[in-house]
Structure 1
Amino acid sequence: MTNTSKMKVLIVDDHPLMRVGVAAIIDGQPKMVTVAQAGSGEEAIQLYQQHLPDVTLMDLRLPQLSGVETIRSIRRLHPQAKFVVLTTYEGDEDIHQALEAGAQGYIIKGMPFESLIQALERVHAGGRFLPVPIKRALASRTPDSDLSHRERQVLGLLATGNSNKQIGELLGITEATVKSHVSTILMRLNAVDRTQAVISALQRGLVHI
């Protein structure tokens, strides 16, 4: 089978060893070929335009532009683009955000490599690939737990140990406004205090440190 009739895959991961390992698995398949490897979201957008892969394998943790933002950017230019997320992030919010951005498959790096091949084949054929642990995590997501952009900013600063006063200074808002945002965050995350809210946010992938 010639390269032109093989499934073309773009690999996006900021770890060179990970990219090389995944490329070896893909290139070992008779019907797949790695057309390019990117180490950042910006590079992924450029290489996507250049190679127009059938499926892009996307890590979520990337320098500067995140994996979710990269998916959104590529799909704005190419709405038909297909993505399989390959990441260490297992939180329900990570999964929700990736699928909402346009990913059709989601697998964790610790899963068997057969899952990777299955995901690529299923998504290439126009389907979705969500293994049982991913579906379970997604099903556990609390309805009405969406946070606004400002609430996410406040939560991120809470997670790094800032006081209400410090958060207000960093975001240019009053301490009273910060307190209001914190109250909303606690309610949406069903948390009794700031510590519980931060633990929940880290587990679910609402924030990453």
Structure 2
Amino acid sequence: MHILLLDDHFIVRQGYRSLLAAQYPQAGILEASDGEEALSAVQQRVPDLVILEVSLPGISGIETARRLLQRWPLLRILFFSMHDELPLVRQALAAGAMGFITKGAGREVLIEAVKRCLAGHRYIEQELAIQLACSADDSRLDPRLECMTPREFEIFVMLSKGLAPRQIAHHLCLSSKTISNNLTSLKQKLEVTSLTELVHLAIDTGVIRLHGLVGRQAG
């Protein structure tokens, strides 16, 4: 059995590599730091499970999942992400992922998710599953959110949480010009003219939580 860990943070990969190796001592644990590297790794050896982050440099995690599943439709994919925004979770599941959990979940949740996905079953972290069920008929859902690409949505979330374009560029390993172009595209698609309007849209549609935003700004 082989499991591929896809995350751009070496320390994160090492920590969860150790956890998985202890749980599955006979498994080969492979690693990749970005989407292109993951595509190349899977071409060399198709793993039994890919565990990946949404936020990745270059190709986003969701786009990486789409490309992997286009070529290997039976590949099992589990998102293990710092993101818990429902539209991103929906995009990940729509891309074909079998599961989605957050990095705030306990180790036992990750182990259970891996176990379930390896067995061919879906697994969504309980809190996210409840939120998805409760928001299924949510009148706040805005059709403008559906027009964004996964990368644009990721940038939208980061901007809404107060990150400056240069910080986003650094985090995603993209140029400032690329982020600027994405921001221009976002304003057009979302029909807003300023970052303030963009943040209000994120709050109104439930993409970000107001109390969390206030807490970060106060800190």
Q: TM-score, normalised by structure 1?
A: 0.72
The 8 Å contact of residues 5 and 13 in structure 2, kept in 1 or not, is answered as: yes
1:194 is displaced (CA, Å) by 4.6
The 8 Å contact of residues 88 and 108 in structure 1, kept in 2 or not, is answered as: yes
Correspondence for 2:208 among 195, 200, 203 = 203
1:144 is displaced (CA, Å) by 6.0
Deviations 1:23-59, CA, capped at 9 Å, x for gaps: 0011101465243100001001111111210000011
The alignment status of 1:47 with 2:41, answered yes or no, reads yes
Structure 1 stretches of at least 4 aligned residues deviating more than 3 Å after TM superposition: 141-146, 152-156, 158-161, 198-202
Correspondence for 2:75 among 62, 68, 81 = 81
SS at 2:23's partner residue? Answer: coil
Matched residues, number: 179
Unaligned segments of structure 1, at least 5 residues: 1-6, 172-176, 184-192, 205-209
> Which deviates the most, 135-144 or 60-69?
135-144
The match for 2:174 is: none
SS at 1:85's partner residue? Answer: strand
Q: CA 1:26/1:195 → structure 2, altered by over 3 Å: closer, same or farther?
A: closer
* Alignment RMSD (CA, Å): 3.4
Q: CA 1:153/1:31 → structure 2, altered by over 3 Å: closer, same or farther?
A: closer
The 8 Å contact of residues 26 and 32 in structure 1, kept in 2 or not, is answered as: no
The match for 1:109 is: 103
Identity, in percent, stands at 29
Q: CA 1:195/1:116 → structure 2, altered by over 3 Å: closer, same or farther?
A: closer
The 8 Å contact of residues 102 and 125 in structure 2, kept in 1 or not, is answered as: no
Correspondence for 2:59 among 65, 81, 86 = 65
Q: TM-score, normalised by structure 2?
A: 0.69
